[in-house]
Structure 1
Amino acid sequence: MSSENAAPAHPAAPGGIRERKKQETRDALHRAALRLYVERGPDAVTISDICEAANVSRRTFFNYFDSKDDAVLDRDEEGSGRSLPERIAARPEGEHPLEVIHQAVRAGIVNSLGHPTWRERQQLVRRHPQLVQVAFASTRRTRDLMAEGIARRTGRQPDDLYPRVVASAAHAVAQAALARWNPEDSGDELLDILDESFAIAASGFNLHV
């Protein structure tokens, strides 16, 4: 077949390219901010430093993050694959709500452990108490995502009482497990602590679990 009659190649979807470029820019800013925080400490890093390291403008920075701390800590833990609400909604029908969130969070942690920056962020928060407030805001968003997933399973609204109570309880259990874990230890140890924490909650807080 001559080149004149060949079917034209289909260009990549513009929206897909734009989204990929946006994600690449966000990732570059996150990596730059995290590296500088680790090397210098939060107080010695400016937004301009992060922009220079990532080779972007300040205007571009504020298209993605509200502050330098957000650039370090406001990181989508999903990476790729299903979001937390999607994982919760997809769990088997009839599964106990706490177990639903347990397994959904567990899958998210397994995914996150594959990203080296996740462990570094946990270490940073423990070394620099001024980051706790920003980290706490991020965990509240995680709690809201849990409520959204439970709402999808039950046909309710995320701000209804039932999804909020379930999400708040499960979120507290997950946070207790994360606080117990030493980021210097293995990811398997974190998963073991998470499993034990949810088993305690599922037992009605029985001391003999």
Structure 2
Amino acid sequence: MTENATDCTRRESNRRKTAESIVRAAIELVTQAGSIDAVAIDDIASQAQVSRRTFFNHYASKNAALLEPIFTYRSLYLAKMLSAPQNLSLWQAVEYAITATITETPDLTLVAQSDFILRQLVHASSSSPDIPYLEAQRAHQHVLNEHLAERIGSGDPLAIRLIAGVGEHMLRLCLHDISASTREPEKVAKENLSHVMTILQSQPFGSK
């Protein structure tokens, strides 16, 4: 019997919910332990109330589950940069893309925790140093670099790398303070973005 559209939609919804429960369980356990090595895949599966087999049906490794939120966040930023109105200046386009990313990310706290795990714990882990989504991230970076070259009208690789790097750092700075704050995560992120933009626009860097 052919599966109808309703069944397909329900199945996809259940798949997403299971994947999300695995991610949340993994991040919660690793954040509590302060270590990736201290948490086993069986621990994550138990916390998420799924089998070990179900875990591997969704994620190839602990790191894949732990880092999915920050990868999705970055991917959304790329999409927003590519769709930024052409009449905006370069930094206006970056601000537009980051604001849209913040607004459309459903759980900024989870992303902030995922980013912390990437920065502080993945490289300290004794497990495989391979970082999931790295190839996809490189592909995204290539697309962004081409877009920036068109927007600034220059193929200068150093200029493109500098602009891309600043945008990426701004994106992540918006996550700063979220986990430690009791305020609405979106408000914290947007205040951080506003602060960063003020610094970029007002500070005479390099002057005496």
TM-score, with structure 2 as normaliser: 0.64
1:173–1:201 CA contact under 8 A, matched in 2:
no
Q: Note the C-alpha offset of 1:86.
A: 2.8
Aligned to 1:50: 44
What one-letter code is carried by the residue in structure 1 that aligns with 2:18? T
TM-score, with structure 1 as normaliser: 0.64
Matched, 1:71 2:78: no
Aligned length: 188
Higher relative contact order (CA 8 A, sep 6+): 2
Equivalent position SS for 2:86: coil
Identity between Structure 1 and Structure 2 (%): 21
Matched, 1:23 2:16: yes
1:101–1:146 CA contact under 8 A, matched in 2:
no
Q: Note the C-alpha offset of 1:88.
A: 1.8
Aligned to 1:88: 81
1:20-169 correspondence runs (5 A): 20-42=13-35, 43-75=37-69, 83-112=76-105, 114=107, 116-121=109-114, 125=117, 129-131=120-122, 145=140, 148-149=143-144, 151=146, 154=150, 161=157, 164-169=161-166
Equivalent position SS for 1:93: coil
Equivalent position SS for 2:69: coil
Structural RMSD (CA): 4.2
Aligned partners of 2:156 and 2:78: how far apart in 1?
16
Equivalent position SS for 2:105: helix
2:69–2:114 CA contact under 8 A, matched in 1:
no
Q: Note the C-alpha offset of 1:133.
A: 6.9
Aligned partners of 1:199 and 1:139: how far apart in 2?
32
Aligned to 1:6: none
Max Rg structure: 1
CA 1:117–1:18 in structure 2 vs 1: closer, same or farther (change >3 Å)?
Answer: same
